[in-house]
Chains A and B, each alone.
Chain A
Amino acid sequence: MAAALRIALVLITLGCVYLFVIHPLWFPVGVSAQAATLDHAFSVAFWILGALFVAGQVVLALVLLRRKPATSSTHWYGNWRLEIGWTLAITVIFFWFHVSGARLWSSSAMHHPAADALQLEVTGVQFQWYFRYPGADDKFGHVDAQKFAKANEGNPLGIDPGDPAGKDDIVSSAMVLPVGREVDLTLRAQDVVHSVFIPAMRFKQDAVPGMEIHTHFKPIQTGVYEIACAELCGMGHYRMRAAVRVVSAEEFGKWLKSNSAANSRE
């Protein structure tokens, strides 16, 4: 039984290592400015914790190996020196680990978006995403979903028709972004909590009703990527998707122009 248990622990460890070496699934290619940094931090964490995992399982298998003859007596109640040494070692590792994590967090969440960042508002509604651009005046019109929202009349968000700032707002069902320019997001929700998850951008942020949450990221590669909803929002949660189209600055300009004509609320 002892041998079987040891072999099982070793096989499980090898199996897990094998699984992560071949990794049939992994991160999608990162296409935002912070993706490389985050991926690197993940790899570092992954290697350290992976090493501790292997060490832990192997040590567990090894202690099962050592058997003394049945007659010997071991009244071993512990060893403070070992205990303190081990505790200090693990404290140092995790303290360093934590500090590097805190630095990463402050670099990703603790600064303001660039002054020329694209303004974009994302609104979650069961079970759709709406993306609003402020138009030529760079101002979002006032929104009152309860008073003005009419999905079938082209105003799903409820932009106040009496607010001049809202006249040129563009509402789209796809997120279109110019490459290489930071985007300053405002997240809102009309009904329940949703969460904007763009794996390729390494981006996730909940959209909470009653709150306006500001955050930002910068796409650095053109292409089409998917947005998935990551907070349980009801029966259609699994299909609450949208596309992010990252295009060149010129193409983005053209898209804005063609949409402002189509979207005008005159």
Chain B
Amino acid sequence: MEARRHRETQESASYGFLRHYLFTADHKMIGRQYFFLSLAAVLVGAWLSLLMRIHLVWPKTAIPFLGEIKPENYLAYLTMHGTLMVFFVLSTVPQNGFGTFFLPLQLGTSEMAFPRLNMAGFWTTLVSFLMLMAAFFVPGGPSGAGWTQYAPLSALAESGPGQALGTDLWLVSIGLFCFATILSAINFVTTTIQKRAPGMTMMRMPLPCWSWFVTAILSLLAFSVLTAAVIMLLLDRHAGTNFFVPGGLLVSGKPVDHSGGSALLWQHLFWFFGHPEVYIAVLPAMGVTSHLLSVFSRKPVFGYRAMVGATLAIGGLGFMVWGHHMFASGMNPHAGFAFSTLTTAIAVPSAIKTFNWVGTLYSGRIRYTTPLLFSVGFVSLFITGGLTGPLLAQPALDVYLHDTYFVVAHFHLIMAMAGLFAIFSATYFWFPKMFGRMMNERLGRLHFWITLAGAYAIFMPMHLLGIAGHPRRYSDLSGVQYVAAMLPLQRFITLAAIVTIAGQLIFLVNLFWSLRRGPAAEANPWECTTLEWTLPSPAPDAGFAGRQPVVNHGPYEYGSFGAEKDFLSQDAPAT
């Protein structure tokens, strides 16, 4: 079996361009494919956020090729921005991009458990992405119901311009995305359980592997529920079922022929997926950060077992808190107590992680590389964005702040910015192993400073907008008087966003320049212990090429090991 697989892998290496770069079952190429898919998605998503920010504060400004932005355009951008960023960036690149590439290598195997399933997962995700993008070109444009797609707005084609074909495309796209993610999650779980190298016990797994493993379990459960919800909504729209649309509705003066559905049911199903989704995005980020802080402070991870425990606790609790998105929804207020208690409880494992990151850095011989800078940035943003969590977990306070910019600030800091910082640190860190070249450190540092300052400059003032009662998802400030008065601060945020997004061009230049011209990378440029660094750079198609690594050590043996070495590779001979 192993021999046959190995032969196939070698054969695929000698096939032509298409077999090598596109229709490949090699997890490393699929990891790269996910990486570039997410890069495309993040570019579109960032561009849309720029359009929204400009429109908010200079509503009459015509954008080249697009003209003036109308309210329905704004809502379409908002929906697409959220969908692209949450699904195709934050849920895709940390897990399916880096995870697909590095989970097998860190575990000491050359393949995922199901290589063809892996390939099917990527191609389904690509089709899903293209369907989502297609909504820009259909009559009415993309859906304008937000990434949360609350029914009945999302269920009734007559409720707005993008609510017809645009919403159908959204639903089919997300349905396919769910399917792809489930395929991939099955693969991750099986690979972690089945394919570990001899000696790679669960408690010797590098922390990113733990994160990918737990995230895959969350994905499996959460995306299954979203799949069902999306199919139910499609049935409501086209097959005359009544899951989410109650009776007696009148939309734009026309009676709606539905009865008996529940609008809150959609919210429950959506957030049963939607909250674990936050952890699907952030757990791999936490794993990468834990890993990099240890590597670059040349010290073992502080409290490895506590880290594993906290990861499991966050994953488990993450399934029991969805109702905190619904304190103002009309849900029974008694349920608020349970959801509030469990939500506040998540602060404990999150605090354990923060404490251990600080402990890992403490008295380390820190190497100030770009990946380390971004990891420290992650911790800083995680503290800042995380601390508003317990506040929003209090139903009485949340009701006022719910659906205002305060919440926008909270989740952008904790999920989007912290998540992005981990994606950047992982990119700078693993780039040599993925592409065989080093990225430019000087440009990397410049990129870090601009992004760190930008993240705070954009999102800290948003808390104040929310405290002053600025609802989110407003395409124009002129509709409500007290909101119109907040224009100056909104202008400041837009300026900060323009500078920060422009600063990301430095990253793009660095990425594409380094792909072609970066200095060739050694096998282990960062002096790491984990198994992917025992391979040459870039990781060869054949992986370990029949050599079976045997693991004798834990993943974080940094410190002093003899005169010339300060780390011990996981497969170094046992002493």
- Hey, which bits of chain A sit against chain B, CB under 8 A? 1-2, 5, 8-9, 12, 15-16, 19-20, 23-28, 38, 41-42, 45-46, 49, 52-53, 56-57, 59-60, 63-64, 66-68, 70-80, 82-83, 86-87, 90-91, 94-95, 97-98, 101-102, 104-106, 108-110, 125-126, 144-146, 149, 151, 158, 187, 190-193, 195, 197, 199, 202, 204-206, 208-211, 213, 226, 228-241
Contact = CB atoms under 8 A, between A and B. Distances in A.
Contact of B246 (A38, A42, A209): A209
A87 B310 CA distance: 11
Nearest to A127: B479
Contacts of B356: 78, 83
Contacts of B380: 9, 12, 57, 60
Contacts of A87: 348, 351-352, 355
B336 interface: yes
Given A90-B348, A238-B476, A75 B482 contact: no
23 contacts: A1-B373, A2-B366, A19-B464, A23-B467, A52-B387, A64-B366, A66-B362, A66-B363, A67-B364, A72-B560, A77-B301, A102-B337, A102-B341, A105-B333, A106-B337, A108-B396, A193-B150, A208-B330, A230-B471, A234-B144, A235-B144, A236-B71, A237-B75
Contact of B355 (A2, A77, A83, A191): A83
B363 A74 contact: yes
A41 B400 CA distance: 12
Contact of B471 (A19, A71, A229, A235): A229
B257 to A, nearest CB: 9
A98 B249 contact: no
Interface string B499-523: 0000000000000000000000000
B118 interface: no
Nearest to A90: B351
Contacts of A56: 354, 383-384, 387
Contact of B344 (A97, A229, A238): A97
A101 B359 contact: no
Contacts of A91: 348
A236 B559 CA distance: 61
Contacts of A145: 248-250, 255
A56 to B, nearest CB: 4
Contacts of B362: 63, 66
B32 to A, nearest CB: 30
A192 B167 CA distance: 15
A146 B248 contact: yes
B452 A205 contact: no
Which interface residue of B261, B341, B452, B467 has the most chain A CB atoms within 10 A?
Answer: B467
Contacts of B365: 67-68, 70
A72 B477 CA distance: 59
A234 B383 contact: no
Contact of B247 (A110, A210, A237, A241): A210
A108 B340 CA distance: 15
A70 B367 CA distance: 11
B391 A193 contact: no
Contact of B396 (A38, A97, A230): A38
Given A211-B263, A232-B145, A202 B376 contact: no
Contact of B489 (A25, A149, A232): A25
Contacts of A8: 449, 452-453
Contact of A232 (B150, B340, B460, B468): B150
A235 B72 contact: yes
A256 to B, nearest CB: 26
Nearest to B354: A56
Nearest to B475: A238
B398 to A, nearest CB: 9
